[in-house]
Structure 1
Amino acid sequence: MAIMTIRDAILQTLHAEMERDPDILLLGEDVVGGNGTAGGPEAIGGIWGTSGGLYAKFGPDRVIDTPISESAIVGAAAGAALAGKRPVAELMFADFVGVSLDQIWNQIAKFRYMFGGKTRCPAVIRLVYGAGMNTAAQHSQSVYAMLTAMPGLKVVLPATPADAKGLLTEALRGDDPVMFFEHKTLYGVKGEVPDGDHRQRFGEARMVREGGDATIVTCGRMVNFSEKAADKLAADGIGCDVIDLRTTSPLDEEAILDSVEATGRLVVVDESPPRCSLAADICALVATKAFSSLKAPPELVTGPHSPIPFARELERAWVPSPQKIEAAVRRVLAAG
């Protein structure tokens, strides 16, 4: 297996899949170069560096710089998908998905249902999300719970380079709309990536580590933080199941419930505010389907119900941390 970053895994997957399937095209703000950057149209390959070399290989008909209009980007992707293409629409910041909610919520998510399965909409919308880079309240949010709540969408959050490749490949070869969330702080994370063709099915959570004392359920950047907390707890003889959801729609309910039935304790770690959140949804799932297995009330480790601060120290305090996760596990252990 090769060692690469999540950024490189995404870029290599786009290269491979666009070469394999001529119907795949990429569109978004500055995905070619944009902004008159020196050194030619691909001087930056997108501000996140995930589209380098695509323009030179596939040309202007398949790699398209767009105006600064999320509604236009997603609307164009919806039309292209209905016409038989497989568009990949990049939203530079997930925070601006609200500008295109009609296109996503009322159109893309419902085409297949409203036309009785006679049409499909294989659009992949890549959304860069999350706090941790001091980008303030309008560029740091985790909005996956909002999109998870919309029937008709697949919602994907890779936490490793291997999953970035496997999940993106699965998204590009499927026939359903996929919201593909990429945490901005994870682009540089390195790991092993399987060679050749690699697909990771949706709805299959990853057991990051096993332990019999508590279950930690999480996704995205919080997987890494949960692993750090589990390492600290293991030094004191406390073992945790750490579950990386990989996808929130579909959700691997079986993996969550099986683990909680074995450990009796649940901690859900979610990089978003707590009200109507993914954490609240998972706690409700466990309370409904595995209540008799619980030895203690579930713990939620989330951001507070407030905008994300710009100041570095305040942002660090806002984001769920390994220390907060460790403390939550210790609380469920002390409770029963």
Structure 2
Amino acid sequence: MSVKVVRYLHGGEPGWGVVHDRRIAPLSCGATSTADFVANGLEAAWRSTSDQATLPLDAVTLLPPVTSDRQFLCQGTNYASHLRESGMDPDKIGFNTLFTKAPSCLAPADADVVRPAHVRLLDYEIELGLVVRKPLSGAVRVGPDQLHEFLAGVTIVNDISARDVQLPQAQFYKGKSYRSFGPVGPFLVLLDAQEWLRWPEFRMQLHVNGQPRQDAHCGDMIFKPHQTLSELSALHDLQAGDLIATGTPAGCAARAPGKLAMWAFRHLLSESAKWRLFIKKGLSNPAYLQPGDIMTASIRTDDGAIDLGEQRNRVVAS
């Protein structure tokens, strides 16, 4: 049975605990980072019982379950539906798009998302987050039934993106790394070997002001978690507690223009003119986030057996 781990502040002191209904069973693992928790707190979390839950969940301040000393790794264009809405043909993309976000953008699941003054096209992306269980300092071949050996748990990620920075400047890192652009949590959900096999059943849903924007199952991923772990391990070192955000499905505010407009963009306009037109058109798109908007994001199986909780983030102006 899955275990919901939370990192929190209570009385000014940080702590880790296991959530039982609406109460927390504090853990005495002394972890100061996600790496410490994975190394020293997993077994205690699995053993936690409801009679140890003495702290009301509503009495604490949430912290992201991934600490800012970890790598924040990301997959892009990993859902065919998102590729199509971005004007790309999924059948012509034969590689896994990998990039990073700054760990300093990590934010709690209920924190405000701050829109910088120069950003006008602010977008959302719900994603399944994977938290690494053990260091990988060389290439490994991970099988689809081995995820429990390499991953500690799952969490919700909202990959907030400044499209008017990311796309015109062709800089994913810059457009996605502003402070508060990475709400994570509320929980790090630990899964057993059989539950890890159910990740394709996880349903991701994101709403803005109560209106549905994104709704898809994680099984629609193009490059699956075991494939991405294998590829990343051959590329560079992974450490316990590192976070991998696995891409987003269709429903983002950013959309590709029609085929005629795309042809004109490619053949008739300069690069600078193309992006000026993109931003001008985007300013009339009501789907982009505005100060005062409320995002809610959830991931769970349809039967409710595995539930990663819900994020609730308000957009504010800087």
Does TM, normalized by the shorter one, top 0.5?
no
TM range (shorter): under 0.3
Q: Which has the higher contact order (CA 8 A, sep 6+)?
A: 2
Q: Give the TM-score, by structure 1 length.
A: 0.27
Q: Give the TM-score, by structure 2 length.
A: 0.28
